[in-house]
Structure 1
Amino acid sequence: LTVDSGLGQFNPTPRRWLNLQEYQSKKLMQESGVAVQRFYVADTASEALEAAKRLDAKEIVLKAQILAGGRGKGVFDSGLKGGVHLTKDPAVVGELANKMLGFNLTTKQTPKDGVKVKTVMVAEALDISRETYFAILMDRSCNGPVMVGSPQGGMDIEEVAASTPELIFKEVIDIFEGVRDDQALGMAANLGFKGPLQRQAADQIKKLYDLFLKVDATQVEVNPLGETPEGQVVCFDAKINFDDNAEFRQKAVFAMDDMTESDPTEMEAAKWDLKYIGLDGNIACFVNGAGLAMATCDIIDLHGGKPANFLDLGGGVKERQVYEAFKLLTADPKVEAILVNIFGGIVNCAIIANGITKACRELELKVPLVVRLEGTNVHEAKRILAESGLPITAADNLEDAAKKAVAAIKN
């Protein structure tokens, strides 16, 4: 269930959110007493084989650890199909791990070349007799954390909310009292747990809230929170989102962040407080504000062009950021023109203009540049650009800028 999770870190521009691998989330849950499957982590095929033997389970599940979703239907460049496999034979675990580790796994959510698998999780496979959904998240409308649950788990909770809203249960948590026993038992009952299982589920709910507080989470989502034929309540899969404002006191958690799967250009942009997302087009966009950046991409597309990126400069801009942004844009071989679209509220247009002229000279810009500036110090900014002697095309508004950028490529 999507609920606004808060303001995020106070930075000039949004930063990359912390993402954890599945096994890392399970470790955090385990440390808080939350019931999860028994599991081990392996970096080599021999370690995976030994882990499978140590588990001594009726059935074992082997999962490739990457941040992207859709692993089950993914394909490895080793020829192996599927990043999730079930087997009853420990020897097979070693054979499968040998075809996973060190190879790229491609799914619908990875880059086209896939992501190299460096770690696998070897876990006990448990039967699930019933699946439910449970989450704790920050809800602005309630000014704090809420519990959200449904007896319909193991599927997209958005679909459940749309088709059977009466099966979505929500409970506000008092931040001074925490999750009360009666609240936990009531939510467990709403999820369909009965008898001893109701008490078990209530205990898991309280422990999940303890984890939520302990790691400064904005969301802890368990889907499914399942019931086994043996009468156990187990958290089978979890997603944890963290409050980046709490990084200063959650150093151990943030140290787990695996940035090797991130786009190198996005990571370089983040160093300069720039939000960058690469696209497939040939017109680079240099904009302040996510909304304006999306509008710029749309207008370019409307006039027959294709944006090469989404680059949000944000507020509180320094000339060096402008320069570094141009370095990123010009390093993309697909870029055939650059469109700058700045609306200066917090942003000082004169700083942008100085950064642009510096970048053009030092980087020896070789592609057409179209600039549209409005707002704070815009007259000074336009004077700087006009007197620079550089081949910069000025635009009066966004539509004019988009048309000129598209025309520059066609010419």
Structure 2
Amino acid sequence: MKKLVLIGTSNGLIRGGISSALSEFFDLTNLSIGASCSGCGLFQLGENIDVIKAADFVLIDFSINDNEHLLNSWIDEEHLNEVVRILYEEIIKININVFSLIMPTLNYLKNYSNSQGRKIHRRIAEELSIPVIDGYEYINGIVDSFSLKDEDLFLDNAHLNREVAFCFGISVSTVLYSLDTLLKIESDFKSQKICQYLVVSAGDLVSQFDRVELKGTSTLKLNAVTLNEKVEIDVSRPGFFLSGLLINANSKAKVRISNLNSDFHIIKNAYSGELPDNKVQIKYMPINQPVDASHISIRVSSYYDQESELSPKGKKVLSSRDYGELDVFGLVYLNAESTFLQREIEDNSFQSHVDSIVTASVLNYMLEIRRLKFFRDRLSLLNNPNFQEADLYRELSLASLDVGDVGLAREFILRARSLRPSGEWIKSISNKLFNRCESGDS
């Protein structure tokens, strides 16, 4: 089984969605973190480089949140362009097949050319000859082909519903396998030996703390250091610029980033308020413009200090109650000497190949969605306390018949009949199946 690494956001975390489909076709390592941008991708790349080097494919999915970060002025466009380019380039440099995955949103479905996040990822991917799997083209193809309502395909504005996302995942898997041999490209990186980014994790800061603590969610836990107003730590990295921090966004604190040799500082609100107070929310907080990291420190700012720069926030307002601690999982830096990669490929016709597969897979959508809905509706009967093993095999038989697999339907009904030989419904289905097979319909 081929190895796939998914580095993205919340679309990759929905059970029964795109990651569930990918896991049926690949040995999947899912490094997605909800509500994160491409800077988080650099953190995951740095922290999981050995896993990524062992992969056959890497999927990058950050266009939705990158667009939101731009719209809300949480990151400067030039800064974001540099982060996105470095993320793709560093994966290319280890000779792994990398794809740009563009997940669609409801509000951009009919005017997706206006999404700045999509524009940036498509442009940089095309400049680096990276295939783009565009979910907007897939979803619009479904809407146009089957006269469906846009809103019926989405859970909310930013997430496809599970069945649609699963079917799109099947399409994505088809693209990856079809291009496996086509993309075996050896590139010359002699002029690109320099690593363009640096990840500093909590473990790297342990010398300035008594301890680090494992914190996170049920799906992801990372080492964290906890800052307060009394603790200031030196995070200087000469030759680099600070790009952003991976934090617990449920920390009730503002962070102060200071130049140790001047009065320059940045104050950002680290509290999103999107979860109950006892929950940890791992989120990437970008700096609007990279900060020279030659002589810098970070600490928790005073509650009364005014924010000097916007940062991702939720609906709750930061209050003075329980104020004062900030969990930091790591920091991401960009190399001051970064020079962009020039990748020359003789044949980049694979993009048209990708687009043709996505277009063709639209035609299979109704069959796939019908199959998924039929199985899930039938297996929901398992919640019935009177549902027995014979009922399960009966329903599996009917589901198999519905998708045209008569042979499998026959096997299931035989098993059901052995468990409940007197069952009239099972007997009726069995008789119809055997008569169907004997008549040559198989």
Give the TM-score, by structure 1 length: 0.31
The structure, 1 or 2, with the larger RCO (C-alpha pairs under 8 Å, 6+ apart) is: 2
Give the TM-score, by structure 2 length: 0.29
